Amino acid sequence: MDFGKKNRLSRVIKSDGRCFFLPIDHGYFLGPTQSLEKPAETIAPLLPYCDALFVTRGVLRSCVDPADPTPIILRISGGPSVVGKDLADESITTSIEEVIRLNASAVGISIFVGSDYEHQTILNLAKTVDQCEKYGIPVMAVTAVGKETEKRKARYLALSCRIAAEMGATVVKTYWCRDFDKVVDSCPVPIVMAGGPKCETELEVFEFVHDGLEKGAIGVNLGRNVWQNPHPVAVARALQAVIHNNATPKEAYELFKELKNK
Ligand code: 5RP
């Protein structure tokens, strides 16, 4: 790996090999998502506790302070909306010149394996890797399921992750699931876990993150379970303890309880 790509990767994945990405890209197909109506207000208290922000160019330009040191992972795929025909019908939305102009440390792009648009979205990823490799920019592939949440099972996710890795993704973002080790073990590049809809309890979040890390994931790309919680900073700091300080779920929950009333 050349210096540029290594350097960018080391901004988003810390020296312990772990990472906590904070995604706020949901509006690219969901519009003004709950608790993300005003992205600048949502992220301000959270930025000190995450390792990178996953965001579209529009929200980056309008809601993020260019002087903030948090590295940026730029969401560069999109097209359909939640009220449109098919969430999987994505194209590449952002050029490589924009990625460079915005000084992104990495890009993120979705693939929809098994959908009517698997060919198109897998080629989107492959073309993105071609472009990004020229300039040493890491690519995070997002194994998206759209509205088909029942797809979040080890067999399907292992298939999607492996295809993303074969296309040249630097890192793959996927969902935690039962038998998550089967997903991690058959993917030759690092995996980060997405959250999905908000869990019932904070302990549940800490438990699945801890389990995924034990099974080989390098970190998380966790949004709604952080910023839709009434105590987002306490969740973020407890997650940081699980990811970077090997806290157990119980220890993280105790920390969360201590911090939430501060
Ligand atoms: C949306 C995304 C999000 O970044 C991803 O789903 C993570 O967010 P959450 O933890 O809220 O699910 O890629 O397509």
pLDDT at residue number 197:
67
Atom of ligand 1 nearest to the CA of 228: 11
Does ligand 1 come within 6 angstroms of the Cβ of 196?
Answer: yes
27 Cβ closer than 6 Å to some ligand 1 atom = no
Q: Model-level pTM?
A: 0.96
The finding on whether 222 has its CB within 6 A of some atom of ligand 1 is yes
Catalytic status, residue 173: yes
Q: Give per-residue pLDDT as tens, 96-123.
A: 999 999 999 999 999 999 999 999 999 9
Ligand 1 close to Cβ of residue 78 (< 6 A): no
> By alpha-carbon position, which residue is closest to atom 4 of ligand 1?
23
Does residue 221 have its Cβ closer than 6 Å to ligand 1? yes
In this structure, the residue with its CA closest to atom 14 of ligand 1 is 26
Q: Is the CB of 21 under 6 A from ligand 1?
A: no
CATH assignment of 3-195+217-223, given 3.40.50.300, 3.20.20.70, 3.40.50.720, 1.10.3720.10?
A: 3.20.20.70
Residue nearest to atom 1 of ligand 1 (CA): 26
pLDDT at 151: 77
Which is the catalytic residue, given 127, 173, 257, 262? Answer: 173
153-184, pLDDT tens digit by residue? 899 999 999 999 999 999 999 999 999 999 99
Concatenate the DSSP letters of all residues of the chain into one string.
Answer: --HHHHHHHHHHS-TTS-EEEEE--THHHHSS-TT-SSHHHHHTTTGGG-SEEEE-HHHHHHHS-TT----EEEE-EE---TTSS-TT--EE-S-HHHHHHTT-SEEEEEE-TTSTTHHHHHHHHHHHHHHHHHHT--EEEEE--TT-GGG-SHHHHHHHHHHHHHTT-SEEEEE--TTHHHHHHT-SS-EEEE--SPPSSHHHHHHHHHHHHHTT--EEE--HHHHTSSSHHHHHHHHHHHHHH---HHHHHHHHHHHHT-
Phi-psi category of residue 136: left, alpha or beta, with phi > 0 → left and psi -120 to 50 → alpha: left
With a 6 Å cutoff on the Cβ, whether 195 touches ligand 1 is yes
Going from N- to C-terminal start, the domains of the chain cover: 3-195+217-223
Q: Looking at residue 261, what is its pLDDT?
A: 87
Instruction: Give the residues of the chain that fall short of pLDDT 70.
Output: 196-197
Ligand 1 atom closest to residue 142's alpha carbon, by position in its atom list: 13
Atom 5 (ligand 1) nearest CA: 194
Distance 194 CA to ligand 1 centre (A): 6
Find out whether the beta carbon of 87 lies less than 6 Å from any atom of ligand 1: no
- Distance in Å, CA 24 to ligand 1 centroid: 8
Residues 144, 110 contacting (CB under 8 angstroms): yes
Which of 12, 21, 25, 112 best tests ligand 1's pocket when mutated (most atoms within 8 Å of CB)? Answer: 25
Nearest protein CA to atom 7 of ligand 1, as residue: 194
